[in-house]
Structure 1
Amino acid sequence: MVLTELNHHHNGLSLSKEVSGDGLASPSSNGVPVPVQEERQAMLPGAGPLLETRLYRRRFVVLAVFSLYSLVNAFQWIQYSILASIFTGFYGVSYQDVDWLSVVYMVAYIPLIFPATWLLDTRGLRVTALLGSGLNCLGAWIKCASARPDLFPVTMFAQVVCSLAQVFILGLPSQVASVWFGPKEVSTACATAVLGNQFGTAIGFLLPPVLVPRSDDHEETSHNISIMFYGTAAVSTLLFVLTVAVFKEKPKIPPSQSQAVLQDCPPEQYSYKQSIINLFKNIPFVLLLVSYGIMTGSFYSVSTLLNQMITFHYEGEEVNAGRIGLTLVIAGMIGSVICGIWLDHTKTYKQTTLIVYVLSFIGMIVFTFTLDLGNLTVVFVTGGALGFFMTGYLPLGFEFAVEITYPESEGTSSGLLNASAQIFGILFTLAQGKLTTDYDPRAGNIFLCAWMFVGIILTALIKSDLRRHNINSGITKSDVKSVPVDSPVEPAPSIQSSTQL
């Protein structure tokens, strides 16, 4: 694709034109090329001259490739637990051993998040993306060698490799969105990136039982497992090749004022250690860190124990339990997209986050007290509503964190949010599982409801200081850090005005 520059000085804005490979731009009805109109729409009105920004069509390819390899990583996480009864019989291990094939994702993330975010900040987006996609591909191929009853340790090792890949994946949605997308599309892009991971979980609920049906013949089961593993490895390899081919570090000219300001600062000003200190000194972020962990940890716990809760009240309904899980995830995907689009149009970060938190709390209460009514249709409806709001909250948390912590790294703030979610997820799963076993599912769910109420209070206390939005609007000045010291840097954008932000 060939990109040529077209400068229009309109109210102090420097606009750019995006053209196709033949060098032609598509005119619109008012004589202004459509890409230029898109650029104007992506730029929020500012006060005074602004730095040059531009949107590149490559951003959609980068987002698509990231979303797809994130999808495969999530699929590899859930593919064992949804076939737990089959894998316990095939490998001759306990349910706890199979559970660890999923739990290892959460356990690995917590200690590795700091080196992963350090790598993202110091080596850049492309290197981190290649590691995530590459490790995901490697883990998938190791699994292909584990389709024998005596090779459970091999499949566990492969899952550990995939869990390492996850560390370089979960924190990237907000980073990819900020680096490549304009101000009026960044939240939608972040939601789309999160959506890929959720869609992988949905496919993980749906596809493995089809590929590996229950059979008493070990050879047939081994063959079916091999088909699933080799298919996953082939897709992972294709996506790794695409990542190498299309994933660039950053566009030559940034897509927003907030990114332009960051890239305009000297690199030596940036310190990863100081960035972490700044985040933990940021009281609104600390409140969000805890409230996000409570909400997402509750979702992880409900998802993990859903089968146990359903079969407690509806004996022999394992298939419908899986379908309810699928309904929960798909409804959550829809919620994520709607919340992302809403944020891009309104920029009401705190209000939307608080409302979705309250609705999730109400949904959890309704789910808790209708679970034992003896009507699976009601469980489908309440489970879908719960997934819609709880999963829709995920991109809200990412984007709200970026706003209140700017100019700190999006990858670092997102990584800390995910670490908080993993910690609360492990604690809540253990506690809710114990309460469900010793008493009943209602006791475990009430435990989560109590914690979610605490999360509502913490969210209400967050001061909504939209730093990134203010920079994009040109209505504030801010001390900003640089881009990472060793991060691959494209040629610096030209500055169309001597006025500094």
Structure 2
Amino acid sequence: MGAAESTEGEREPLLAPAQPQTNTQPVYSRVYGRRWLVLTLFSSLAFMQGIVWNTWGPIQNSAKQAFGFSSTDIAVLVLWGPVGFLPWLLFMWLMDKKGLRASLLLSTVFMVLGSGLRCVPISELQYRRWLIHGGQLLNGLAGPTIMGAGPFLSTTWFAPDQRATATAIASLVCYLGSACSFLVGPLAVPAPNDTQIVTSVVNWNPSHIRERIDFVLYAEFGLIAALFVAVLLYFPSRPPVPPSVAAASQRLSYRSSICRLLSNMRFLMIALAYSVPTGVVAGWSGVLDMILTPARVSQVDAGWIGFWSIVGGCVFGVAMARFADSIRGMLKLILVLMLAGASLAATWFTLTCLTRLTHLPSTKATLYTSCILVGIFINSSVPIFFELFIETVYPVPEGITCGVVTFLGNLFTGLLLFFLTFYFTELSWLNWCLTGSCIFSLILVLLFRESYDRLYLDVFVSV
């Protein structure tokens, strides 16, 4: 008595699924065209925050004549940016609980107040200097959101094949603002610099220089106020439907995220690899005019060097992020190549500045080339680092992860500028710090073991 073979009808399940299963993308994933408007508003604010932060370094000679600033004052004005990161936990908590809109609005209010304080027309220079310092501090308080929310915005609004590009734009445009301050400041403000021949007496008039600086400050305040109105009228926290599986997935709580980050040795290793060179190069570029003045480089030429070094890093960073979007899983290799180039360029620049000892040719061409290469390699690594952070510690929220690493980067910037307030007569040690930080970061990245947890979720689970 053998069992008869079952028929096709008998093999049908008794409880059929409610909906037929298909291989199409789930309906809860959707990309909105308005994401580019959101990215543009955020990037515009980041651009202006970078301009305000780097207002005084490129025109430090003019500021000394107009307001009586000392070299210590210039270093402290740049230092207020890193100091503004001290309450970063508050901004990360606000972003995690209330979304990006609430955190960005608060940061924009600080930017408006800060840029407004710098414009208060007080004839007493002592009080005017205090207001300028206060304005720089308020602008620095916008830094935790402006510099750390780029990856959070890209995950919230963009599809996986556009995330690295959006992260690069949102995180690098702040550096582009700093670059434009190298260009706008020296071109708009006359420079009483003994490295160039003065052809007009008005260039040395402190009152005329002060008027030109005020013109720049008023223009920056007007642009920031207009952007504040735009963000107030339209900047949603998130789209109605998330753009990917990772964006819709459950994340760790705020407290659990902090504990996991601080106990993850792989994250701490790569966080140091990011924060040390980027923190050092931020402080170094903020006082680049002071570094190049002993080499008989004028304020305008120093501004052009700083401008092209940061612009090159931004353009190259977006290109590499686009490459990372098209060929995934190559973040570590890209970082190794970038940091190796940064180490060589920083060594070249340092030795060129010591021409009395090394006898290397110290010309405008060599200073331009070496400095621009440093900016290209280090600044372009920022979005690649951000993407690697998020892949390493997923499911920790992007805003918290990048908030921690940007705080560390600004901590190293602050330490560098703090020492600069004591050791500002001979600045070759800054160049050696830059070279050592690049080599240190390269070693850490070589030892790092990469993983792609978020990418795995988007590629395999969504399918």
| Shared fold per TM-score greater than 0.5 | yes
Deviation readout 1:449-473 (Å, 9 max, x if unpaired)? 3343222222122221111101101
Q: Find 1:135's aligned residue among 105, 110, 134.
A: 110
For residues 142 and 10 of structure 1, do their structure 2 counterparts lie closer, same or farther at Cα, with a shift above 3 Å needed?
A: farther
1:71 lines up with 2:47 in the alignment: yes
1:445 lines up with 2:431 in the alignment: yes
For residues 416 and 188 of structure 1, do their structure 2 counterparts lie closer, same or farther at Cα, with a shift above 3 Å needed?
A: same
Q: Find 1:171's aligned residue among 140, 145, 148.
A: 148
Name the stretch that deviates more: 453-462 or 235-244. Answer: 453-462
**What does residue 181 of structure 2 align with?**
204
Whether the aligned pair in 2 keeps the contact of 1:403 and 1:468 (CA below 8 Å) is: yes
Distance 1:273 1:252 in 2: 27
1:343 lines up with 2:324 in the alignment: yes
Distance 1:285 1:51 in 2: 34
Deviation readout 1:276-329 (Å, 9 max, x if unpaired)? 0011122221111111112212312431343233232x2253322221111211
The correspondence of residues 101-500 of structure 1 with structure 2, limited to 5 A, is 101-109=77-85, 111-146=86-121, 148=123, 149-150=125-126, 151-214=128-191, 215-262=203-250, 270-312=252-294, 314-315=295-296, 317-347=298-328, 348-371=330-353, 372=355, 373-429=361-417, 437=425, 441=428, 444-475=430-461
Whether the aligned pair in 2 keeps the contact of 1:404 and 1:465 (CA below 8 Å) is: yes
Distance 1:168 1:305 in 2: 24
Distance 1:475 1:349 in 2: 21
Whether the aligned pair in 1 keeps the contact of 2:71 and 2:424 (CA below 8 Å) is: no
For residues 359 and 131 of structure 1, do their structure 2 counterparts lie closer, same or farther at Cα, with a shift above 3 Å needed?
A: same
Whether the aligned pair in 1 keeps the contact of 2:99 and 2:237 (CA below 8 Å) is: yes
For residues 286 and 432 of structure 1, do their structure 2 counterparts lie closer, same or farther at Cα, with a shift above 3 Å needed?
A: same
Please give the secondary structure, in 1, of the residue aligned with 2:147.
coil
Shift of 1:435: 7.9
For residues 94 and 120 of structure 1, do their structure 2 counterparts lie closer, same or farther at Cα, with a shift above 3 Å needed?
A: same
Whether the aligned pair in 2 keeps the contact of 1:436 and 1:444 (CA below 8 Å) is: no
For residues 361 and 239 of structure 1, do their structure 2 counterparts lie closer, same or farther at Cα, with a shift above 3 Å needed?
A: same
Please give the secondary structure, in 1, of the residue aligned with 2:213.
helix
1:12 lines up with 2:23 in the alignment: yes
Whether the aligned pair in 1 keeps the contact of 2:149 and 2:399 (CA below 8 Å) is: yes
Shift of 1:160: 1.5
Distance 1:114 1:141 in 2: 26
**What does residue 8 of structure 2 align with?**
none
For residues 188 and 10 of structure 1, do their structure 2 counterparts lie closer, same or farther at Cα, with a shift above 3 Å needed?
A: farther
Distance 2:259 2:422 in 1: 36
Whether the aligned pair in 2 keeps the contact of 1:147 and 1:226 (CA below 8 Å) is: no
Please give the secondary structure, in 2, of the residue aligned with 1:184.
helix
Gaps of 5+ in 2: 1-19, 192-202, 356-360
Distance 2:352 2:54 in 1: 27
Shift of 1:178: 0.8
Distance 1:298 1:390 in 2: 10
Please give the secondary structure, in 2, of the residue aligned with 1:169.
helix
Shift of 1:125: 0.8
For residues 116 and 437 of structure 1, do their structure 2 counterparts lie closer, same or farther at Cα, with a shift above 3 Å needed?
A: same
TM-score, scaled to structure 1: 0.79
Whether the aligned pair in 2 keeps the contact of 1:71 and 1:200 (CA below 8 Å) is: yes
Distance 1:226 1:100 in 2: 20
Please give the secondary structure, in 2, of the residue aligned with 1:468.
helix
**What does residue 53 of structure 1 align with?**
29
TM-score, scaled to structure 2: 0.85
Gaps of 5+ in 1: 1-8, 15-49, 477-500
Shift of 1:61: 0.3
For residues 123 and 400 of structure 1, do their structure 2 counterparts lie closer, same or farther at Cα, with a shift above 3 Å needed?
A: same
Largest Rg, 1 or 2 = 2
For residues 158 and 428 of structure 1, do their structure 2 counterparts lie closer, same or farther at Cα, with a shift above 3 Å needed?
A: closer
For residues 195 and 147 of structure 1, do their structure 2 counterparts lie closer, same or farther at Cα, with a shift above 3 Å needed?
A: farther
Distance 2:204 2:442 in 1: 49
For residues 237 and 200 of structure 1, do their structure 2 counterparts lie closer, same or farther at Cα, with a shift above 3 Å needed?
A: same
For residues 92 and 318 of structure 1, do their structure 2 counterparts lie closer, same or farther at Cα, with a shift above 3 Å needed?
A: closer
Distance 1:321 1:289 in 2: 31
Whether the aligned pair in 2 keeps the contact of 1:85 and 1:95 (CA below 8 Å) is: no
Distance 2:136 2:440 in 1: 34
For residues 318 and 327 of structure 1, do their structure 2 counterparts lie closer, same or farther at Cα, with a shift above 3 Å needed?
A: same
Please give the secondary structure, in 2, of the residue aligned with 1:337.
helix
For residues 278 and 144 of structure 1, do their structure 2 counterparts lie closer, same or farther at Cα, with a shift above 3 Å needed?
A: same
Shift of 1:433: 8.6
For residues 451 and 229 of structure 1, do their structure 2 counterparts lie closer, same or farther at Cα, with a shift above 3 Å needed?
A: closer
Shift of 1:425: 2.1
